[in-house]
Structure 1
Amino acid sequence: MLKGIPKIISPELLKYLCEMGHSDRLVIADGNFPTHSVGRNAHIIRMDGHGVCEILDAILKLFPLDTYDEHPVRIMEKVPGDTVETPIWDEFEKIVSQYDTRKGLIGGIERFQFYEEARKAYLIIATSEEALYGNIMLQKGVV
């Protein structure tokens, strides 16, 4: 056991977070995300039974966001014409703003471009999140 590490952060997840360098990306994926096909070249951690927001909150306690990128946090944009509500995006904004006070950190990426960017991620965390468009990508900064 270590002090100050959120209990939801497993030793395996802590290892990968520590291994990541500046500009490396991680994706916290909802339950519908094609984690294993998109993440063929990434480390994958399954965190079934947990939602994206609780994992995001725990990770941001430890994880510096990139200060050299205008949008070090990215979300998957809705497909044009899709009218589904996305209240999870408001939760993402609240959580991110607790750890980084810069404005406008969260940027959107078109759905298929998000998949392409996720293919380059160092780490993908698969969750049981049921919210649609509940995927978020973080780009690591420096301490």
Structure 2
Amino acid sequence: MLKGIDRHLSAELLHVLMLMGHGDTLVICDVNHPAASIAAKTVHGRVVDMVGCDIPTGLAAILTLMPLDTFVQSPVSRMQVVGDPGGQMPMFGLVQTVIDAAEGRTVQMQALERFAFYEAASRAFAIVRTSDPGPYGCFIVKKGVVDLPRL
């Protein structure tokens, strides 16, 4: 254990977050997502599991360390409801609350059609699978810049 780091963040996940650069993307998903097959195509190449963690808790932990990209209009993407592109699921509002709180502002989230989401996920840096039962717990977050003071 380390001081000041959320207990939900494993050593592997911390390593992934440290390796990511500005503009890299991270998928956080529920247990229904085809995480293993898509993760094989990512930079990291395998699933990072957040066992016993739901999506809002896991994403909140990740966003304590990772800023969202402010250079793009929508630094967060989610999967559309199949057959109802305008449909809303309870998870969408929960995640919106988490990202807005983490950034201290309203963050725009875009919706992607299911297969467009899978394609975007395959280009991600890594896939983080939570124990969340879903449904529609599939999100892509784009890493921003950490503005550190000069020494």
TM normalised by structure 1 equals 0.92
Aligned CA distance change for structure 1 residues 86 and 27 (closer, same or farther; 3 Å) = same
RMSD of aligned Cα (Å):
1.8
Provide the C-alpha distance between the structure 2 equivalents of 1:82 and 1:108, rounded to a whole number of angstroms.
8
Aligned twin of 2:15: 15
Q: Percent identity?
A: 39
Q: Secondary structure at the match of 1:46?
A: strand
Provide the C-alpha distance between the structure 1 equivalents of 2:106 and 2:57, rounded to a whole number of angstroms.
22
- Residue ranges of structure 1 left out of the alignment (5+ in a row): none
Aligned twin of 1:35: 35
Q: Secondary structure at the match of 2:57?
A: helix
Aligned CA distance change for structure 1 residues 103 and 47 (closer, same or farther; 3 Å) = closer
Aligned CA distance change for structure 1 residues 84 and 104 (closer, same or farther; 3 Å) = closer
Q: How much does 1:141 deviate?
A: 0.6
Give the letter aligned to residue 105 of structure 1: Q
Aligned twin of 1:64: 67
Q: Secondary structure at the match of 2:28?
A: strand
Aligned CA distance change for structure 1 residues 97 and 84 (closer, same or farther; 3 Å) = closer
Q: How many residues align?
A: 143
Contact persistence 1:65–1:138 (CA under 8 A): yes
Q: How much does 1:139 deviate?
A: 0.3
Q: Secondary structure at the match of 1:6?
A: coil
Contact persistence 1:28–1:56 (CA under 8 A): yes
Say yes or no: does 1:122 pair with 2:125: yes
Provide the C-alpha distance between the structure 1 equivalents of 2:86 and 2:104, rounded to a whole number of angstroms.
30
Contact persistence 1:86–1:131 (CA under 8 A): no
Contact persistence 2:80–2:87 (CA under 8 A): no
Aligned twin of 1:48: 51
Give the letter aligned to residue 19 of structure 1: L
Provide the C-alpha distance between the structure 2 equivalents of 1:93 and 1:68, rounded to a whole number of angstroms.
19
Provide the C-alpha distance between the structure 1 equivalents of 2:6 and 2:19, rounded to a whole number of angstroms.
18
Contact persistence 2:67–2:144 (CA under 8 A): yes
Q: How much does 1:138 deviate?
A: 0.5
TM normalised by structure 2 equals 0.88
Aligned CA distance change for structure 1 residues 83 and 23 (closer, same or farther; 3 Å) = closer
Aligned twin of 1:93: 96
